[in-house]
Amino acid sequence: MSKKEISSGTEKAENLTRKNTAKKTAAKPAETKGKAVKNTQTKSKKSKAKKPAKKVNEKRLAKRREREQKKIELAKIRAEKKQKRLEKKLESKQKRLDRIAAMKQAKAERREKSKERRAMLRHETKEHRIQRRKEERQAKIEARVARREAELAERRARREHRLKVRAEKRAAKNDKRHAPGFGGWLAAVISLGVTTLALGTMLTFGWMNMNGMEAQMSASHTESLYELNAIVDNLDTDLSKMRVSNSKQEQVKLLTEIIIESETAETVLERLPMDIQLTQNMTSFVNKMGDAAQSMLFALANGKTLTESQIASLEYMYKTNMELKNIINELTATSGDNDMIEAMRGKSDSLMYVSFGEIQNTTIETPKEINDGPFAENIKKVSAKNLEGLDEISAPRAEELAKQYFQKYGVNEVCCTGETVAEQLSLYNVVMKTNDGEMSAQLSKQGGKVIEFNSYKDCSAKNFSVERCVDIAEDFLATLGFKNMKAVWTSENGSTCNLNFAATQDGIVLYSDMVKVKVCEERGIVTGMEALSYALNHTERKLPQTDITKNEAKAKLNAELSVETSRLCLMPIDGGEVLAYEFYGSFDGSDYYVYIDARTGEEIEVFKVIGTAQGRALL
């Protein structure tokens, strides 16, 4: 085979192969194109189908973002509220801390003042004490006079205002009857406006003055309350130390402190704007506490030790003072200026009145020791027997009776300042002025009987004996209508003589019907009297009979008791009265009262007399 023939055949095969290949290649692009078109259509359909889902997701995202935004805002609001609460809490805490710090500072200042006063009283001589008390009494009188003048000025201003208003109304009626023209009406209006403006200015100025005076007095009374609070705290400390002290030197120091604090407490109680009936329970307690401490101090000074009875008295005083301390501390912590002002205005529902009423109702019993006479504090809460059937008097009549009762004192002016209530009695408060001072008295609204009397006279020397003071007191009581009275106890301190009188019936002493009298030993006049127990209890009694004789009753006594005197008496006990033989005598250097039932022969009461250096019994 030739080369040419081979090439030609090969070329034909190659050409044929190229053609087939070209056809396949041409067909593949067409297929590919068709597939591409199909894919494109499919994708477009899918995209068209997915578009609504995308919109739904966007809404959900928007709502989600909105909820998240609200959560953020609420969290922010809660954070702000929490921050405000924390700030308010911190502010409240800071105020409380500031208040506590202020109270501690005030307490420290009061304690410092109290220490200074105790130091002053400890080194005070008798002359200085007399002068100080004189100045304090004078200050009280001046404060009372200023308060009364302010009240009178206020009443006078109100009265003038009422009179001017009436005159203006009367003038307006007259003007209306005469029917003035426009010019007349204009002049009247201008005149009335000027008058009203002047009157309003005057009343406003007067009100401001009264308000300022009231605030000043309130601050003074509040200071007295704080001082009383410090005193009962100090007494609590001293009495608690006395319970455990076994050193005579320490006991002497503590008893001296108790005596000083008791005297200071009595002075502070007098400065509080309270009726004497609300403070008499506490005043009586601090008086007896001071006297008991003085008796113990006297015993230690004579080389003796405290007896079991005196130790029991210390325990009693500690517990009673604890009760008073709790009430006074709570009152001091809760009372404010408005409470003190309400007390000054005599509101019975004020915090001061309620708290001191609680003290008055607290059972404060006298220990089985006496320093101001047997049954001196006895007041049975019954109807006013001595005033039954008597007519009620008016305030002007009370003024007339007061001037009549005390005419020997040279009374120049009498003024009824209001009414008060003591136990079951309604009383008129009467103030009397004399050439050498001021006096006050309380007269019963029923019958016009003198229930209490006080004369602010200076007494610093002794010119009259005790026996002469008894005669002066008897004459004074007779002038006031008290009959068949017997002196049953006296005590004196070198310038003042205190006496207890009891009514008698058929020679029997009626201890429930008691009157207390104070006589100035320098001037020889009565400067004080209190007859509340007499007014409540005195009446004609049907006396029981005795079943044993005096000698039989005496045989019931301890053989070691040296009896000095004896007598029959009607003694108050357990809300009733018992006829008893009263024996007064001494045992082992101390004086005692022993009471034997006149019917059964049983020993029903024993009293030990304390403060014998200042008092003695009249039997």
pLDDT at 55 (0 to 100): 55
**Mean pLDDT, rounded, for 391-398:** 92
**Cα 584 from Cα 243, distance rounded (Å):** 31
Q: What is the pLDDT of residues 308-326, one digit of tens each?
A: 767 877 888 888 888 888 8
Q: What is the pLDDT of residues 502-561, one digit of tens each?
A: 999 999 999 999 999 999 999 999 999 999 889 888 888 999 999 999 999 999 998 889
Other CB atoms closer than 10 Å to residue 422's CB: what's the count?
Answer: 21
Residue with tokens 């995209």: 47
Q: For residue 539, with 0-12 CB atoms within 10 Å meaning exposed, 13-18 middle and 19 or more buried, which class applies?
A: middle
Residue 291, both tokens? 């006297």
Q: What is the pLDDT of residues 106-145, one digit of tens each?
A: 888 877 877 777 777 777 676 677 777 777 777 777 776 7
pLDDT at 307 (0 to 100): 77
Residue 68, both tokens? 């998240």
Instruction: Give helix then strand counts, H and E, for the chain.
Output: 12, 14
pLDDT at 185 (0 to 100): 45
Q: Identify whether the C-beta of residue 585 lies closer than 8 Å to the C-beta of residue 561.
A: yes
In the predicted structure, residue 380 carries a pLDDT above the cut 60: no
Q: Identify whether the C-beta of residue 422 lies closer than 8 Å to the C-beta of residue 500.
A: no
**Cα 115 from Cα 234, distance rounded (Å):** 10
**Mean pLDDT, rounded, for 338-347:** 67
Q: What is the mean pLDDT of the chain?
A: 77
In the predicted structure, residue 159 carries a pLDDT above the cut 80: no
Q: For residue 245, with 0-12 CB atoms within 10 Å meaning exposed, 13-18 middle and 19 or more buried, which class applies?
A: middle
Q: What is the pLDDT of residues 247-288, one digit of tens each?
A: 788 888 888 889 888 888 877 777 776 666 566 677 778 877
Q: Identify whether the C-beta of residue 511 lies closer than 8 Å to the C-beta of residue 502.
A: yes
pLDDT at 370 (0 to 100): 57
pTM score, two decimals? 0.46
Which of 165-169, 347-351, 496-500 bottoms out in mean pLDDT, i.e. has the lowest? Answer: 347-351
Q: HSE of 284 in the Cβ direction (CA atoms, 13 Å)?
A: 21
Q: For residue 455, with 0-12 CB atoms within 10 Å meaning exposed, 13-18 middle and 19 or more buried, which class applies?
A: buried
In the predicted structure, residue 581 carries a pLDDT above the cut 90: yes
In the predicted structure, residue 13 carries a pLDDT above the cut 70: no
Which of 49-63, 242-256, 451-465 bottoms out in mean pLDDT, i.e. has the lowest? Answer: 49-63
Q: Of 541, 505, 532, 540, which Cα lies nearest the Cα of 449?
A: 532
Q: What is the pLDDT of residues 186-215, one digit of tens each?
A: 444 455 554 555 555 454 444 444 455 556
